[in-house]
Structure formats: C-alpha cells, structure tokens
Structure 1
Amino acid sequence: MTTTQVPEIELDHVSMRYQTDKSEVLALEEVTVDIRKGEFVSLLGPSGCGKTTLLRIMADLIQPTNGEIKIAGGTAKEARLAQKYGIVFQSPVLYDWRKIKKNITLPLEMMGIGKEEREKRVDSLLELVGLTDFKEKYPWQLSGGMQQRVAIARALAIEPEILLMDEPFSALDEFSRERLNEELLSIWSKVSNTVVFVTHSISEAIFLSDRVFVLSPHPGRLSAVVEIPLPRPRTKEMRNRKEFYELISEIRDSFEGV
C-alpha cells in the first residue's frame, strides 16, 4: 500500500565491518536501497547475510563503517530521537510481572504521556490487535503468537512513522506464522506506516511485501529487488496461485552463488 514515491528510508553504499580477535569480518558490502513512505518491504536472505545488521543500522542502534543513511530527509539519529521508530524483535521481550495492558503502556509512561491519553491509546491498540479480552492477563498466560501481537501493539503505541520488525514470527509454528502474517497485514492496513520486515522465509516475504530486497550470503550484498504485484488485500488463497510460485522461483534464482 504505497502512498507516495518519496523515499522514507535511504541507504547509500552502506557497508559494515566487525573487528574480531583474529580478523576483520565484512558483514555488509555497498548496500544501496530506497524505501518509499507507506511501503511494506522485506529484507530477505539466509542466516548470517546481514539482515538484522542492516535493520539495526536503519534504527541507529549501530553505526555503519561506510555509507550514508537518511530517514525522512534527516539522519537516523534525528529520527530515533524524534521517536519515528517502533521496533519488534524476534522475541516479544515482555515483562512477566506487568499485565498485557501495562506492557503496552510502558513506552507511553516513559514518554510522560498523560494517563487519560495513555488509556485511550492503549485501549485502541488492544482492539486493533484483537486482545481486548486479554488486557488483564500476564504474558505467560498467552500463546507465543498472542505475545507477539502485544509486542506489535507496544511498538505502535508511540505512533511511529516506521515499524522495524526483526523476524518476529520465526519462533512460531508454520500455522501460527501464516495466521500472524494475515493479522499483521490487517493491522498495517489500518495504520499505514512504513514497514521493514526481516525474514529468511521466501513465502513470508512475498505474502507480506510490496517489494523484497534480497541479500546474498555472507557478506551481505543486495542481490535483487523484486516487485510483488499481488493485489491487496492479500488472502491465504494467494499462496496457492501460480504467480506466487513464480515469485518464489524468481527470488530463489536471484541469490548470488546459489
């Protein structure tokens, strides 16, 4: 659901090197991408190709060795300080001693948002992710998929322009994962922010995305940018269409050295 062609995220020849005790490791090499405002894109590649590193660079959690990053025309640091990011990690990272509603409220408390506004915003998010009936439960009383929905709601609580998601469904079984894919798209259709989603699942990337950025095996280079022309809203039946399988083949063929 692309709302405009203006880049929200721009990475220009970004590289990342790590110094270990024995040698220097090149994690990313000369990655250049533009992500449009309101676009849903996936960073796809095998383990160790630098997907998470690239996401962390976008979020200003680590600094690249070389290259330039712009977020909405400014720096990544400016975007982070302006609370433009919401981040969902592979693990939900919920606080077991806080009830679901209180877990979602936490970032708003830290920002000093007033109680009335906090209550209004969190109740709306609980409805958005379908967890209103579970707001007084504790995280350990919820399934893994429900916990990730709480994590998504918490990330959206600050009303970020950009949602960064690092393999949020990888620990779930295939059935739960596909259901969460559908629920994520339903949520995204209502909030319409820019989403960058890290995954090593080709079918997941295709089902969710407007475009897929394919990273080669180590070191991570941009192998291909694949447009996903499947209509929205996406339905589970699309996974069985000929076009879906053709996109899987196209992406598999795009990996360098494979």
Structure 2
Amino acid sequence: MSLVATKIPEILLENVEMRYQTETADVLALHQVSLDIAKGEFVSLLGPSGCGKTTLLRLMADLLTPTAGNVTVAGKSAKEARLAQKYGIVFQSPVLYDWRKVKHNITLPLELMGVKKSVREDKALELLDLVGLQGFADKYPWQLSGGMQQRVAIARALSMEPEILLMDEPFSALDEFTRERLNEELLSVWSKVQSTIVFVTHSIPESIFLSDRVFVLSPHPGRLSAVVDIPLPRPRTAEMRNSPQFFELIARIRDSFEGV
C-alpha cells in the first residue's frame, strides 16, 4: 500500500523551461516540463545522462531559477519553501567533513541554527539508529565505507525534519550489492519519517523498486516523456525484483523513452 497521504500537490511544476547561456550557444536544457508530486509520495526522476534530471531537482530546491514556467512547493514559491527549511538534500557525493565525527557531521545544520548541544547529541543518536549506524557516532567519515558515508548524509539531511527530501543519484557510486541493500534501508527510513521524496536515478530497476511513480525524462532537450505508476505492494521486498510484474515494468519504462 502506498504511503501517499493526499492528492494535493506538495510539488507542482508548470511548463518549466531552463536555458543556459554558453559562449557559443543558447542551450535549452528542459522544455515545458509539467508535473505534480503528492505529499508523502516517493517519486523518481529517471533518464539517461544529460536529460536534465539534476537540473529539475535543483529547480525544485531553488538552487536554480527557471527561465520560464512556475515551481510551487507546499503552496509557496520554491524560494519561500527553501527559506522555510522544507527541504533536505542528499547529493551524489556524501560531502562529509573528515575532521568532524559522524555525529557532528549529522548535527551541523542544527549547530548552525543555534540548537543546544544536548538536543543536537540526542538527535544524532536518534538518526544514527534510524539509518542503522548505531555505535558509529564517534567515528570519522574516513573510517566508514562509501555506503555508510551515504547513510550519514541521509541522516544529516533528516536532522531538520524536512517535509521534502531531494536525492540526487545518492547511490550511483556504490557497487550493486550495496546499492540494493541501501534501497531497502531507504524505504525503511521513509516509512518512518513519511517525507515526500524526489529521487534522481538513471537505473530503471532502482526507480521501480523505490517509487510510487516514475517520471521518465528524454534528452535534447529534457522533457517529460512518460509518467509510470508502480503498482507493486508495500513494503517492497528483494524478491519483488525477480517477479514477472517487475520485469514487465522494466519493459514498459524502456518503451517509454524518446530520443534515446
């Protein structure tokens, strides 16, 4: 059963375009993208390299401003939502500070907000338990595996209890075994925090396993070529990856790509 709580859009994009000026040309990266994401929904932005997935995520996060169209988050502009701290962001690289202990990496946003040390410490332990890293609070990032570092990054993004978690290919640098395990752990975390999650990936199986819906982007310029509902029951299990329905969804998404 999906965790979608309501059909009222938490994130709404209307005819969004993004152009970049280069020395030699005016490049259209995204062309008239319109989509809506419900509160509590887990969606993936799927497509090949260069199709504008990360650009689209950055527009939602107010890290970029569209050259045309509108981005609305929780009824506010993307800028208003950012200033209201509705976002948590996890990038492809964990971006941890090697000289800070794991717990201090997690609580950095709280520290910058002036939250009391005792509250920060309690929050760090709570989040480490949530992402399965009990006992690692006093370790340093360089003492952890890549998968463990990415779990720390997820915990840090959750430290401000964001309504929306934006994830930009967070597992793409990991081996397939670690990646699949972290997919399962991410769903476990999501079931507890119930944030809206927008997940960027170029992996069709990953997008199917994680999502309620998959937004398929095609390149040159990036545009929305399909929206695919994922009817697999929740909680998702590793065995589902070998089911006929899973392979049917893979084929359906492959057939939906344009210009690839």
1:34 is aligned with what amino acid?
Answer: D
Query: In the alignment, which residue of structure 2 is the partner of 1:113?
Result: 115
How far off is 1:257 after superposition?
Answer: 2.6
Structure 2-normalised TM-score?
Answer: 0.98
> Paired residue for 1:148?
150
1:161-214 deviations in whole A, cap 9, x for unaligned? 000000000000111100000000000000000000000000000000000000
Amino acid paired to 1:172: L
Distance 2:23 2:233 in 1: 49
CA–CA separation in structure 2 for the residues paired with 1:218 and 1:202: 20
Q: Distance in 1 between matches of 2:142 and 2:158?
A: 21
Question: How well do the aligned residues superpose, as a CA RMSD in angstroms?
Answer: 0.6
SS in structure 1 at match of 2:97: coil
Deviation digits for residues 6-29 of structure 1, max 9, x if unmatched? 110000000000010000111000
State which of 66, 70, 73 in structure 2 corresponds to 1:71. 73
1:52 maps to what in 2?
54
1:50–1:218 CA contact under 8 A, matched in 2 = no
Give structure 2 stretches of 5+ with no counterpart. none
Q: After the TM superposition, which residues 21-170 of structure 1 pair with which residues of structure 2 at under 5 Å, given as runs?
A: 21-170=23-172
SS at match of 1:17: strand
Q: 2 CA distance for matches of 1:147 and 1:9?
A: 28
Aligned partner of 1:203 in structure 2 is 205
Task: Give the number of equivalent residue pairs.
Answer: 258
- Is the 8 Å Cα contact of residues 100 and 134 (structure 1) preserved in structure 2? yes
Q: Which portions of structure 1, spanning 4 or more consecutive aligned residues, are displaced by more than 3 angstroms?
A: none
Q: Which residue of 1 aligns with 2:230?
A: 228
Q: 1: distance between equivalents of 2:38 and 2:115?
A: 30
* CA distance in structure 2 between the partners assigned to 1:81 and 1:120 by the alignment: 25
In structure 2, how many angstroms separate the alpha carbons of the residues matched to 1:223 and 1:246?
18
Once residues 113 and 30 of structure 2 are traced to their aligned partners in structure 1, the CA distance between those partners, rounded to angstroms, is 34
1:193 maps to 195
- 1 CA distance for matches of 2:92 and 2:204? 17
Equivalent pair of 2:103/2:121 in contact (CA under 8 Å) = no
What percent of counterpart residues are identical?
76
Take 1:80 and 1:219, find their aligned partners in 2: how far apart are those partners?
Answer: 27
The alignment's TM-score, normalised by the length of structure 1, stands at 0.99
Q: Once the two structures are superposed, what CA deviation does each residue of 1:19-55 show, in whole Å capped at 9, x if it has no partner? A: 1000011100000000000000000000000000000
The Cα shift of 1:116 comes to: 2.4
Gaps of at least 5 residues in structure 1 are none
